[in-house]
A = this chain, B = another copy of it.
Amino acid sequence: MEEKQTEISSLGEFGLIDRLTEGVELCNASSLKGVGDDCAVLEYKDTEVLVSTDMLVEGIHFDLTYVPLKHLGYKAAVVNFSDIYAMNGHPRQITVSLAVSKRFTVEHMEALYSGIRLACEIYGVDLVGGDTTSSRSGLVISVTCIGDAPKERIAYRSGAKNTDLICVSGDLGSAYMGLQLLEREKVASAGQKDFQPQFQGKEYLVERQLKPEARRDVIENLEKAGIVPTSMMDISDGLSSELLHICKASGVGCRVYEDRIPIDYQTALMAEELNMNLVTAAMNGGEDYELLFTVPLHAHDEIKKIPGVRVIGHITDAGLGCAMITRDGNEMEIRAQGWNPLAE
């Protein structure tokens, strides 16, 4: 049975916003006033303010054939939280702007918002504003996230120093493999009614692609351990691309070890099944939303105690360039092969 679908135009812009933000409560002390005026009003007396923004476009960043709207909302919020964590801060507020075409109903928007609101609830972030309008075709989501960090704890890309340890959280390449799997099943399903996609044993990959998490736990554990990373980024375009960003911004080089790159078992199996190079997928896959950061050498023992964090190499002089040491001991120059959203 089809669920009831309500045309958005029947509610109007303000009616829709009222419905989508009904019952939204503010949980952060810095959120003085949320949705319902010309601006949100925030208060940040003792910390710096971090601002990050991301735009997701249907047909470019997501495919609604296999991405449920609730997951999309969750992901749109979480990837922005990840940018704030990547500065060693905490996300506190988001604004959400949407452009929607006529094929979307009020119920679709509610599904999208339920994901956004779930992410906000889990990560302790307030939804404080936004804009909702029409588009001629497809769905566009623009999220801006505001967060905070004490000045002395902010981790820029530019602070990595010679001999610093290079650390990565979680594992890499799984979101990319999840995407390959989803695309494969989409092709297989074309034209078939009642098609059942084959995800058994690969649930982790699908989840990493559709419903990524941001690494708040790592930020909290770094804080508890009294460690301030000398540099940090989140891995959205792929480890290679982000390593080069940090090295360029910091004026340094790096060595990472192939056998230290964290890769999940399911990712490895999937790469084999698809006959793809596993290390290439892990280095360049993107959308991992894990943290890449550097710490001084003396933090080694403390870093080893943080769950899910692995040391994958070290920073060198700029003159040595950026290279990976392969399993057989060769040096391979690191090149950015990350996804280019403008080459689509």
Contact = CB atoms under 8 A, between A and B. Distances in A.
Interface stretch (A45-53, A174-182, A190-198): A45-53
A208 B306 CA distance: 58
Interface residues of A, number: 73
Copies of this protein chain in the complex: 2
B53 A44 contact: no
Interface stretch (A32-40, A255-263, A274-282): A32-40
Interface in A118-149: 128-138, 140, 142, 144, 146-147
B133 A38 contact: no
A64 interface: no
Contact of A97 (B49, B53, B130, B344): B53
A93 interface: yes
A133 B95 contact: no
A144 B95 contact: yes
B97 A133 contact: no
A1 interface: no
Nearest to A99: B57
Contacts of A100: 342
Nearest to A54: B131
15 contacts: A39-B50, A39-B86, A39-B87, A39-B147, A40-B50, A41-B87, A41-B154, A42-B51, A52-B129, A53-B142, A55-B98, A57-B136, A59-B135, A142-B142, A144-B144
